[in-house]
């Protein structure tokens, strides 16, 4: 009889142990999902913050250089063609060469009647829009 009682207690203990392990496994899976989601949101917020800072910097220099994209290109290591400036950034938001980029800033210069304007777009290398800013230089009104 004691052997049967001992088996019964062992079986009950093993079932409890399995249930506890299963509970902690499910809890760990839920925590991992929450942490992964938080990391994605943190990265997205950091990219928007950095993109807005970079766009504001380019906009200020666009005004300072009176819309001269060649000077902007030299200062920020970008590629200027016609009325477009393209600057490539790596994952740490430092200027880099084409092909190594994670983010792409494009400044399109537009001359309107009295104002030089520019539209700054920042996209990921995958093509996702991150930030957009329109800048105007009204200091050269004729």
Q: For residue 38, what pLDDT is reported?
A: 96
Looking at residue 112, its pLDDT comes to: 74
**Residue 28 forms part of a structural domain:** yes
The per-residue pLDDT for 93 is: 93
Residue 85 lies in a domain: yes
**pLDDT value of residue 140:** 54
pLDDT of residue 110: 85
Number of separate domains in the chain: 1
Query: Is 142 within the bounds of a domain?
Result: no
Contacts of range 48-54, beta carbons closer than 8 Å, 24 or more positions apart: 48/130, 48/131, 50/93, 51/103, 51/122, 51/130, 51/131, 52/131, 52/133, 54/89, 54/93, 54/105, 54/122
pLDDT digits (tens, 9 = 90+) for 60-83: 998 888 888 899 999 998 999 889
Domain that holds residue 21: 2-137
Which pLDDT score, from 0 to 100, does residue 51 have?
A: 94
Residue 91 falls within a domain, yes or no?
Answer: yes
Nearest-angstrom CA–CA distance, 55 and 41: 21
The reported pLDDT for the residue numbered 113 is: 73
109 located within any domain: yes
Task: State the 10-residue block means of pLDDT for the chain, 142 residues long.
Answer: 64 91 97 96 94 93 88 91 92 91 93 81 90 78 50
Q: What is the predicted pLDDT for the residue at 16? A: 93
Bridge pairing between strands 95-96 and 79-81: unpaired
């Amino acid at each position: 009889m004691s052997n049967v009682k001992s088996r019964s207690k062992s079986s009950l203990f093993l079932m409890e142990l399995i249930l506890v392990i299963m509970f902690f496994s499910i809890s760990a899976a839920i925590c991992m999902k929450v942490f992964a989601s938080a990391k994605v949101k943190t990265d997205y917020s950091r990219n928007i913050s950095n993109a807005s800072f970079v766009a504001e910097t380019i906009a200020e220099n666009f005004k300072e250089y009176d819309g001269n994209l060649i000077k902007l290109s030299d200062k920020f290591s970008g590629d200027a063609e016609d009325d477009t400036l393209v600057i490539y950034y790596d994952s740490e938001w430092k200027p880099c060469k084409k092909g190594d980029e994670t983010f792409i800033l494009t400044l399109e210069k537009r001359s309107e009647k009295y104002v030089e304007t520019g539209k700054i777009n920042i996209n990921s290398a995958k093509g996702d829009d991150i930030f957009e800013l329109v800048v105007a230089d009204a200091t050269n009104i004729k």
